[in-house]
Copies of this chain bind each other. A is one copy, B any other.
Amino acid sequence: MRVAFLGLGRMGSAMAGLLLRHGFAVTVWNRSPGACAPLAAAGARTAATPAEAARGAGAVFTMLADDAALRAVALGADGLAEGLDEGAVHVSMSTISVALSAELAAAHAARGQGYAAAPVFGRPEAAAAQKLFVAAAGPPETLERVRPALEAMSQRVFVMGEAAPDANLVKLSGNFLITCVIEGLAEVFALAQKGGVEPRKLYELFTETLFAAPVYKTYGALILDDAVSPPGFALPLGLKDNRLLLQAGEALAAPLPFASILRDRFLASLAAGEAGLDWSAIARRAAEDAGVGKKTS
């Protein structure tokens, strides 16, 4: 199957590379075309517009920064919806709002095109090593058609539901649970430090016992080392995902008290001038509030 991949940041480039490596015929497009070169060298075709990339492809995968970027690429002038064949499928892999995903599902359906959502868990290093996890949702027959490509880009595909936005809600929920871990650890580390207990001892105990999960190991270490620069996942993106979760909660009338606490952590971090840091820098707030943080970033 011929496929297209739109959006060649660190994540997208790695994922498109995996498609090539697994034998897919891939057309790539990126807003700033320089990012296409390595993939073209590896055998990809390049396209001048999303519409052109989509033409003739059985599936088009998008990995863009946010709602605005995806809306422009999908529905804007020369967008992929213009070029996508009837019966072909757009698979949105970005972390976007539940509302936009629903809007795209409707827009593509109106044109006789398929649509699925398949956001991923994992950082760029994981993407390159085919270690991503995919949370996919959409009509079963649509998902079946794109499953080989999704499997080529990940270590495992989980199906979340038959409505595409289901996967977006799950992705936002997952990122939220990560931030809950950051805040929880930040609070106990601050408390321990103030009480004269070495936070690293808590880290070792917890990550080797009840909380022996990757997320505690990764983020616990980032917090202990204040290893927030350069960012693995930038703080404003974390705030964006928090906002999208809260918006989903509002649309569904579902209160989310932990998410609101985290919102204020993100905002206080921005106010402290930390927009350039990793999102785990929100852990500094609990330390500062307890008087054990550095006051400068």
Q: How far is the CB of A223 from chain B (nearest CB, A)?
A: 13
A169 x B192 contact (CB < 8 A): yes
Flag the segment in A43-51, A59-67, A73-81, A175-183 that touches B: A175-183
| B213 pairs with A253, CB closer than 8 A | no
Decide if A55 is an interface residue (CB 8 Å cutoff).
no
Instruction: Give bound CA distance, A296 to B209, whole Å.
Output: 35
Q: Is A68 an interface residue (CB 8 A)?
A: no
A33 within 8 A of B: no
Are B201 and A210 within 8 A (Cβ)? no
Q: Does A267 contact B (CB under 8 A)?
A: yes
Is A258 within 8 A of B184, CB to CB? Answer: yes
Contact A190 B254 (CB under 8 A): yes
Complex-state Cα separation, A178 to B156, whole angstroms? 28
Whether the Cβ atoms of B252 and A191 lie closer than 8 Å is yes
A209 CB contacts on chain B under 8 angstroms: 121, 133, 156
Indicate the size class of the contact surface on chain A: 35 or more
Q: Are A210 and B202 in contact (CB under 8 A)?
A: no
**B213 to A252, Cβ gap below 8 A?**
no
A158 and B204 form a contact (CB under 8 A):
yes
Q: Is the CB of B170 within 8 A of A176?
A: no
Tell whether A34 is near chain B: CB-to-CB under 8 Å.
Answer: no
User: Which parts of A250-297 form the interface with B (CB within 8 Å)?
Assistant: 250, 252-261, 263-265, 267-268, 270-273, 286, 289-292, 295
Q: Does A148 lie at the interface of the complex (its beta carbon under 8 Å from any beta carbon of B)?
A: no
CB contacts (< 8 Å) of A169 on chain B: these are 191-192, 195, 197
Flag if A211 contacts B255 (CB, 8 Å): no
Partner of A187, one of B135, B206, B258, B271: B258
- Residue numbers in B under 8 Å from A191 (CB-CB): 169, 173, 245, 248-249, 252, 254, 256
Max chain B C-beta neighbours (<10 A), residue from A191, A194, A197: A191
Question: Among A18-26, A105-113, A160-168, which stretch is in contact with chain B?
Answer: A160-168
18 more A-B residue pairs beyond the given contacts A165-B195, A166-B197, A268-B289, with a C-beta to C-beta distance below 8 A: A133-B209, A156-B209, A170-B201, A180-B183, A180-B184, A183-B258, A191-B249, A191-B256, A194-B253, A210-B214, A212-B214, A254-B289, A255-B268, A255-B271, A264-B289, A267-B290, A271-B290, A271-B291
**Chain A residues engaging chain B, CB cutoff 8 angstroms:** 98, 121, 133, 135, 156, 158-161, 163, 165-166, 169-170, 173-174, 176-178, 180-181, 183-185, 187-188, 190-192, 194-198, 201-202, 204-206, 208-216, 239, 243, 245-246, 248-250, 252-261, 263-265, 267-268, 270-273, 286, 289-292, 295
